[in-house]
Amino acid sequence: MTFPSPTLAFGPDEEALRARVREWLAGHDPGPPPEDYAARIEAQIGWQRALREAGFMGLSWPERFGGAGLDIASEAVLAEELAASGMPELINRIGVYMIGPTLMDMGDESQQERFLSGMLDASELWCQGFSEPGAGSDLAAVRTAGRVSDDEVVISGQKVWTSRAGIARWCAALVRTERGSERHRGLSMAIVDMRSPGVTVRPLPQMLNEPHFNEVFFDEVRVPLRDVIGGLGAGWKVAMQMLGYERGLFVLERQIRLRGRLDELAAAVRDRADAAVRRRIGAVAAELDLLECVVYRTLAAQRAGTLRPGATSVDKLLLSHAYQELFAAAVELLGPDVARGANGWTHDLLESRAVSIYGGTTEIQHGIVARQLLGLKA
Amino acid sequence: MSDVSRSFEESLERILSIEALLASAEHDEPLGPEVQRDLVGLGWAGVWLDETGLELEERLELAAVAGRRLLPAAIRGESLILAPLLDGARLDALLDGSLRGGGGVARGDSALVALAPGAELAGVLGDGWAAVIDVRDAEPVAGLEAGQGLARVRVAADARVPAPPRIAEHIELAVLAELYGAAQHALAISVAYAAEREQFGRPIASFQAVSHTLARMAVDLEALDAGIGRLAARGEPRLAAVLRYAGPAAARRVVEGAIQVHGGMGFTWELGLHLHYRRVLDLQAQLDGSAEEVGAMVLDG
């Protein structure tokens, strides 16, 4: 590893793209997202479709898959500009950033042809069926069964924490297709049509009583064999590939939004910023600035193809801490009326507790760092 | 790692034995004449001179080597501050070792400088100014980093010249890189120790309480690396303030974690982790950053 690690630098092409995105955004202000859940989803789908029509979706996808054939720096420019727009994150980000690239790596031509284009224009939303009641941090404990018969996989079992399951058309589901297999072996990644008979989605309200995720029940759901990514038995490899895409741009987007919230907080306390307030704001800002440095290092490594296995756990750990510190600081600095009220700050403080749990808990991330970055046999 | 820094690192590993470093610290005396001669022979004093032609990244890699191997602080001062302020015969003399010196950063009109044995001149960097001063009669100060030749000097107003461009940025970056090197060494020996040291019948690294401590140290180190890389590329004032505050704090946590992971051994004189700890604490004080300074920049922005 070289020291110091390079950071992502933008060239004239990326800056020209930034100018184009800005100009487009100025003429297409989506306004604040609607309060009503269904209306908000509709607005988000329309927003991504508009971005697709303007040519801004799939910037780093190869042209033969409907993308612009650029690299990850262009996606970073887009993410930076979109995060400043106030619109929530892309509705189909799981498809665009995770499942799509995995299909390009490990899917076959027919899968690429049938599934990729609907990801970009959000005409087909995707969800990810990984976790189960008995398989949370221990993903290899997946028990949902996929019985292979002739040219089908017949799936029965339960998934949980599935975001967007109620509105998704497709689900990339990790299922055990080899009866009696254990751990990482005998798993397959099946693309389940969420309109199939036997699929039941039950909202699982989170701490804020918002329906972000769901329980998904599969009862003898039939999936054609040709919709298994990478073939039978490749499930664990496909899952790891997919999770490998779950950083970089995701964290960049989050980091920029948190930066915006920090600026709001600073504005709110500016006229009574004594030394203690300055220290608190400074400590949170420093965490966010270092997170930014780490994210741009990750993106530079992704671009150069030098990303070390396990390195993005650093991004996740720093994001979790900075995120939770920011909103903890906010409710303390803004005073009892804000702290006791139902408002954006208290909402986001509660919501921040999720970040150190989803996508691999803080404890799991520390284990990954110890094993993969430090080479410990823990 | 570049060939230049690899060769410097191998040389330093040979020249700066832990025994020699501990003896120097124990008696608060500089490293002996033979070690000094070998150190001068490396040509370290010229690393930050434009004419040496090294890239910034290569210089920072060398600063990290200095942190890992505990290069004497006086050589940091000679290379970063004094050499860029000298020219002609005096510069040649510094580079060939017939003239020794040191340097440091001023607070107000006085500075703590680290001086090589027999030092005649020190480079001092102040707020927008720099000075080369005669240090033959400088008053020695007992330092936390014993054996580094610490002394207090005053810089008269008429000795000051405008600071060379970018010198303050270079010092900050070099100090941060040195902190990185010290912390990197502390983490590396901790990982090796935890994998080898057995208690309760198994390596202590197999206990999550220990492996997660090591993981947190790694996260601090990674963040410091990313911060230095971005600051070196972009040089933003706010990021510089962030790193003055958060950079040494991260390095310090890493070394403190290393002492903890080594258990009783970590607290001994002979293991020498205290040398890296002293170095990190000294550099933290030199950078003198604060969350309050960062906060003021956010609030004024």
pLDDT value at A283 more than 70: yes
CA pair distance A66, A60, nearest whole angstrom = 10
Do the chains contact at A289 and B298, CB–CB below 8 Å? no
Compute the nearest-CA separation of B230 from chain A (Å): 5
- Angle at which helix A275-304 crosses helix B208-234, to 10 degrees, equals 90
Mutate to test the interface with A, among B220, B230, B244 (most CBs of A within 10 A): B230
Query: In chain B, which residues have their Cβ closer than 8 Å to the Cβ of A370?
Result: 205, 211-212, 214-215, 218
Mean pLDDT, chain B, integer:
97
8 A C-beta contact, residue A196 and residue A169: no
> B223: distance to nearest CA of chain A, Å?
6
What is the reported pLDDT for A34?
86
Whether B62 contacts chain A with CB within 8 A: no
Contact criterion met (CB < 8 Å) for A285 and B294: yes
> Which residues touch B1 (CB under 8 Å, ≥6 apart)?
A2, A3, B9, B61
In this complex, do B212 and A370 lie within 8 Å of one another by their Cβ atoms? yes
Q: Is A124 annotated in the active site?
A: no
Q: What is the pLDDT of residue A37?
A: 83
pLDDT, mean over chain A: 94
Chain A residues whose CB is inside 8 A of the B298 CB are 262-263, 266, 281-282, 285
Q: How far is CA B81 from CA A183, B87, B131, B180, in A?
A: 59, 13, 9, 20
The closest of B279, B212, B293, B282 to B246, measured between CA atoms, is: B293
**Residue contact B298–A293, C-beta within 8 A:** no
User: B32: which 2 tokens?
Assistant: 């002996």
Residue A154 DSSP one-character state: E
Among the listed residues A14, A81, A124, A246, the single catalytic one is A246
Q: Do B61 and A2 touch (CB under 8 A)?
A: yes
- What are the b/e assignments for B123-153, b being 16+ CB within 10 Å? bbbbeebbbbbebeebeeeebebbbbbbbeb
Size of interface A-B (CB pairs under 8 A): 165
**CB within 8 A of A70, min separation 6: which ones?**
A13, A17, A59, A60
Question: Tens of pLDDT along A41-54?
Answer: 999 999 999 999 99
Query: How high is the pLDDT of residue A212?
Result: 82
B118-147: pLDDT as tens digits: 999 999 999 999 999 999 999 999 999 999
Q: How confident is the model at residue A378 (pLDDT cuts 50, 70, 90)?
A: low
What sign does the dihedral A188-A194-A200-A206 (CA atoms) show? positive
What gap in Å lies between CA B211 and CA B201, rounded to an integer?
A: 16
Q: Report the percentage of chain A scoring pLDDT > 70.
A: 99
Q: Hey, which residues 305-364 in chain A have their CB within 8 Å of chain B? A: 311, 314, 317-318, 363
For the beta carbon of residue A294, count every other beta carbon within 10 angstroms: 30
- pLDDT surpasses 80 at B99: yes
d(CA B114, CA A117) in angstroms, rounded, equals 65
Q: Say how far apart CA A302 and CA A373 lie, in whole Å.
A: 16
Q: Which tokens in the block code for residue A348?
A: 């986001």
Interval B252-272 mean pLDDT:
97
- Please tell me the distance in Å from A204's CA to the nearest CA on chain B: 32
* Residue A9: pLDDT over 80: yes
Suggest the residue from B222, B234, B293 to mutate for an interface test with chain A (most A CBs closer than 10 A): B222
Cβ count near B242 (within 10 Å): 28
The token pair that represents A196 in the structure block: 């199939």
In chain B, residues with a C-beta closer than 8 Å to the C-beta of A251 are none
> Is B241's pLDDT higher than 80?
yes
pLDDT over 90, % of chain B: 97
Is residue A377 pLDDT above 90, yes or no?
no
Which residue does chain A place closest to B204, by CA atoms?
Answer: A378
**Per-residue pLDDT tens over the stretch A52-96:** 999 999 999 999 999 999 999 999 999 999 887 777 789 999 999
Percent of chain B at pLDDT > 70 equals 100
Other CB atoms within 10 Å distance of the CB of residue B165: 9
Please give the structure tokens belonging to residue A325. 């510190």
By the CB < 8 Å criterion, does B188 face chain A? no
What would you report as the CA-atom Rg of chain B, rounded to the nearest whole angstrom? 19
Which pLDDT score is estimated for A87? Answer: 73
Say whether residue B256 is in contact with chain A using an 8 A CB cutoff: no
Interchain contact B246–A (C-beta under 8 A): yes
CB contact under 8 A, A282 and B290: yes
* Closest-CA residue of chain B to A295: B226
pLDDT at A1: 62
Give me the pLDDT at residue A246, please. Answer: 76
Please give the average per-residue pLDDT across A220-235, as a whole number: 97
Residue A304 contacts B, CB cutoff 8 Å: no
Tokens of B240: 């510089």
pLDDT digits (tens, 9 = 90+) for B214-239: 999 999 999 999 999 999 999 999 99
